[in-house]
Amino acid sequence: MLCTCIYCTPKKHISSSNDSSIKSVIENEKLNILYRGIKNYLTIYVPQSDSITVSGLGVYKEGKSKYYITPSTGTSMEITIISFVKGKEIIEKREFRIVNIEKAFASIRNKIGKITLSQEELATSKIEYFIPQFVMKLGRVGKFRYQINDEEPTVNYGDEFNKSAKEKIYNMKSGDSMIIDDLNSNPELQSVDVKKVEKLVIDIK
């Protein structure tokens, strides 16, 4: 948010109805796509409706017009929206594609693999998860491990370097390197195996 305001600017999608003058509005983060293994947040409402019920496998209600879906198996799923407008029942169905989340990387400003930074750039950086083609914000890293050259690895709590780590970084020289890996499990990602996050290697300018 993986909630996270794992939220980008929502886009509106209007589904079909037997009565063309009454339509439900669905706002979600990625058109008609749901990601497997995380909570996919949606806002669903029907203008001027007296009540609304949303059902489907893995659909949960969080508050007024606020829902999330946690898809499991398959490549698609359907939700049913039942609303009452001036005593008239309106039933609509909406289909979503289900996609798997790709491998996660340790990153700094969405840079992955092997990068080059100055001491200052590294010391003031935030460590984040990065998943290619994933539009939702994944939430903050709780802890990570770093290793400078051949020194023993050290665990750093939070997504920013602590005082001790910064002191070590400022003592690094051009050509020295740091490896960042073992990011902690993010509760928002649920079944996604982020313990196998690809390491990030930083060379000092």
- State the chain's mean pLDDT as an integer: 82
Kindly tell me if the per-residue pLDDT of 139 is higher than 90.
no
* Model pLDDT, residue 36: 85
Q: Answer with the one of 59, 84, 99 that is the final residue of a domain.
A: 99
Report how far residue 60's alpha carbon sits from residue 43's, in angstroms, rounded to the nearest whole number. 12
* Model pLDDT, residue 2: 34
Kindly tell me if the per-residue pLDDT of 146 is higher than 60.
yes
Q: Does 50 fall in a domain? A: yes
* Model pLDDT, residue 45: 85
Q: How many CB atoms lie within 10 A of CB 74?
A: 10
34, 44 contact by CB (below 8 A):
no
Confidence category of residue 155, pLDDT binned at 50, 70, 90: very high
Residue with tokens 């979503």: 96
| Residue 31 and residue 88 share a domain | yes
Question: Residue range 23-42: average pLDDT?
Answer: 74
Q: Answer with the one of 99, 125, 141 that is the final residue of a domain.
A: 99
195, 185 contact by CB (below 8 A):
yes
Question: Residue range 139-149: average pLDDT?
Answer: 91
| Residue 190 and residue 146 share a domain | yes
Q: List Cα–Cα distances, 4 to 9, 38, 39, 147, 148, in angstroms.
A: 13, 11, 10, 28, 31
* Model pLDDT, residue 140: 83
Q: Does 5 fall in a domain? A: no
pLDDT tens per residue across span 33-64: 888 878 888 888 888 888 999 999 999 999 88
| Residue 155 and residue 191 share a domain | yes
Across-strand partners of 79?
94
Number of domains in the chain: 2
